Amino acid sequence: MASEAEEQWALLFDSTRCVGCRACEMACSDANELGKSPDDIFEGRGVNDARALAPDTFTYVTQHDVAGMPGTAVFGKVQCMHCIEPACASSCPVAALEKTPEGPVVWHGELCLGCRYCMMACPFLVPRFEWHSRNPEIRKCEMCYQRQQEGERPACAEVCPTGALKAGKRGELLQEAWARIAERPRDYVHHVYGEHEAGGTNFLHIAARPFEELGYRANLPTDSYRSLTRPAMATIPYVLNGLGVVLGFTAWIAHRKHQLTRDGYDEGDEGREP
Ligand code: SF4
Ligand code: SF4
Ligand code: SF4
């Protein structure tokens, strides 16, 4: 699986090159028709404010002070990590989330039950649900799958003015990440976030500070979460079948009761043939 992943589409975020301009957030909104205006992005809550992913926010940039170094800031970027073996997909009982052969993890609305198992399973807490919609969707970054199929780069990587975001094949980006660390070892922590986290991801990060200081989840297992969710999900067909039997029996009882009532029998008549 890991060697297949090396050929897949991926993104590299180099925190040392990020200036917090948030052009990537604006481009993401435009490319995905999320409805944000420049005022929403640039006049609203900023890189220093607490923010979260949302149905209309597939990514955001964060700024962090460095202890003991006043005036120095480091940046992080939050979005779907496009796990090599995504727990969101393996936890979905109807395969509404798919790890595509090209790498991005995408959502198929026509299959989704709205059970939200994917939200609970994701180790990076990424998928969001449209709680206030009559026809709610699971919403998250799909690594601009359509754009990439048409030969374009993801919108955020396309627009980034400093090269902090780079699109490419995972294997090549991983090599480049380690080459940058080797060239300037004092400027980076010796860790490519996403190389091994949760079994590896197609979104890789390098930075000058330990990733927990950038708000990233630390100490994630290096086994994929799919291997953890698969045994539990293997029971789902039996649970659904069992549920079907129970619901079918309940429906039969309700129907039977309705039939008896319609035909003039009440509960005191139980045991009599209609
Ligand atoms: S980060 Fe979460 S939503 Fe994205 S692919 Fe991994 S498990 Fe799925
Ligand atoms: S890859 Fe596309 S959808 Fe994902 S954060 Fe970048 S612009 Fe948004
Ligand atoms: S566009 Fe590039 S430099 Fe600007 S905030 Fe996004 S990643 Fe950082």
| ipTM (interface predicted TM) | 0.96
Ligand 3 centroid to residue 97 C-alpha, Å: 28
Ligand 3 midpoint to CA 27 (Å): 10
Q: Is 27 in the pocket of ligand 3 (CB under 6 A)?
A: no
Average pLDDT of 102-130?
A: 97
Give the closest residue to 192 by CA, choosing from 176, 208, 178, 209: 178
**Do β-strands 165-169 and 138-139 pair in parallel, antiparallel, or remain unpaired?**
unpaired
| 26-40, 57-71, 105-119, 230-244: the lowest-pLDDT one | 230-244
Regarding the beta carbon of 28 and ligand 2, being less than 6 Å apart is answered yes
| Cβ(31) – ligand 2 distance below 6 Å | yes
Which of 206, 223, 189, 208 lies closest to 83, judged by CA?
223
Supply the residue whose CA is at minimum distance from atom 6 of ligand 1: 83
Task: List pLDDT tens digits, range 2-35.
Answer: 689 999 999 999 999 999 999 999 999 999 999 9
Of 108, 58, 102, the C-alpha closest to 84 is 102
Q: Which amino acid is at 209?
A: R
Answer yes or no: is the C-beta of 136 below 6 A from any ligand 3 atom.
no
Terminal-to-terminal C-alpha distance of the chain: 63
Percent of the chain residues past pLDDT 90, beyond the cut:
72
**Which two structure tokens, joined as six digits, stand for 81?**
């990590």
- Range 192-212 average pLDDT: 97
DSSP letter at 114? Answer: S
Q: Is the CB of 46 under 6 A from ligand 3?
A: no
Ligand 1 atom closest to 198 (CA): 6
The secondary structure of residue 49, as a DSSP letter, is: S
- Distance of CA 79 from the midpoint of ligand 3 (Å): 13
Contact by Cβ (8 Å): 184, 91? no
Spatial distance between the Cα atoms of 52 and 38, rounded to a whole number of angstroms: 18
Question: What is the arithmetic mean of pLDDT over 146-171?
Answer: 98
Quick one: average pLDDT of 156-184? 98
| Cα 194-168-173 angle, rounded to 5 deg | 45
Which is more confident, 8 or 69? 8
Backbone φ and ψ for 26, nearest 5 degrees, come out as: -65, -45
| 99 Cβ closer than 6 Å to some ligand 1 atom | no
Ligand 1: which residue has its CA nearest to atom 5?
82
* Residue 236 Cα to ligand 1 middle (Å): 20
Going from the Cα of 25 to the center of ligand 1, the distance in angstroms, rounded, reads 19
